[in-house]
Amino acid sequence: MNVHAIRAIYYFEMARTFRAPLQSIASPVISTILYFVVFGSAIGSRMDMIDGVPYGVFIVPGLIMLTVIIQSVANASFGIYFPKYLGTIYEPLSAPISPFEMVAGYVGAASTKSILLGLIIFAVAHLFVPVTVAHPFVMILFLFLTSFAFSLLGFIIGICARNFEQLNIVPTLILTPLVFLGGSFYSIQILPSLWQQITLFNPAVYLISGFRWSFFDVADVPVFWSLIAILFFCSALLAVVSWIFTTGYRLKK
């Protein structure tokens, strides 16, 4: 394994993030703070507890997941799309590095950025509400797996996109609604029984539910199924990435 190649791609992508800290870090953090202010303070103070947890505290895992999912996709998709757009993708493709090493560099950097943002938001949440974590190891595990899975998805989107509009279709029109409807701001148990069953087809439900269980020991679906769902998602995305490099699908244009 060419560790130097992975490190070069990883450091380059991380340096690109810190060259624009307002856009890469401050913007998503400020957006999440607004959610805390509006939903946690203004609305949360007037709402009943959910599963014995104050509403302002209950939404913290959902807000972290929302940011991690969207930022993972955005970071990975832009990271691989710009080399295609500028024509510099030929350099890593012609270099003596394997597809695994190339993907590890880009996806590893995108995952690191998203995990960093998730931890920053977790720290900021303490300024607004008292947050405790019942299962810290499970929290870190879900944070890592979610950032890794959606960084893979972002990598695939960046490879397949032909323009900037296509680059933003999936995060804006698909992922954001799925996360909002996946229990970020509420428990699906409050929905009518029919809608509860329909909501179970939303993959975001399993991610948010498992992550929330690590905080409060309560979940909408068993944490075992949440882990199975995220591992299946990772496996499916790895298979797609492998197929892309095997066939060369849209790697150069």
Residue by residue, pLDDT tens for the chain (253 residues) are: 778 888 888 998 888 777 777 777 788 888 888 887 777 666 666 677 787 888 888 888 999 999 999 999 988 998 888 888 777 777 777 777 888 888 899 999 999 999 999 999 999 888 888 888 999 999 999 999 999 999 999 999 988 888 878 888 888 888 888 988 888 888 888 888 888 888 989 989 999 999 999 999 988 999 999 999 999 999 999 999 989 888 878 776 6
pTM of the model: 0.90
- Residue 33: per-residue pLDDT: 81
Residue 104 placed within a domain: yes
Residue 70 placed within a domain: yes
Q: Which amino acid is at 192?
A: P
Residue 253 placed within a domain: no
Residue 191 placed within a domain: yes
Task: Determine contact, residues 181/204, Cβ cutoff 8 Å.
Answer: yes
Instruction: Collapse the DSSP code of 50 into the 3-class scheme (helix H, G, I; strand E, B; otherwise coil) and give the result.
Output: strand
- Residue 32: per-residue pLDDT: 81
> CA dist 117 to 131, 172, 196, Å?
17, 19, 30
Task: Determine contact, residues 89/251, Cβ cutoff 8 Å.
Answer: yes
> CA dist 9 to 101, 147, 175, 202, Å?
9, 18, 27, 34
Query: Token pair of 174, please?
Result: 């698909």
Beta-carbon-side half-sphere exposure of residue 226 (alpha carbons within 13 Å): 25
- Residue 211: per-residue pLDDT: 95
| Total domains in the fold of the chain | 1
Rg (CA), the chain: 19
CA–CA distance, 99 with 32 (Å, rounded to integer): 35
In the beta sheet, which residues pair with residue 53?
Answer: 50
Cα dihedral across residues 197, 201, 202, 208: positive or negative? positive
List the domain range (segments joined by +) for residue 184.
3-247
Residue 252 placed within a domain: no
- Residue 253: per-residue pLDDT: 61
CA–CA distance, 107 with 118 (Å, rounded to integer): 16
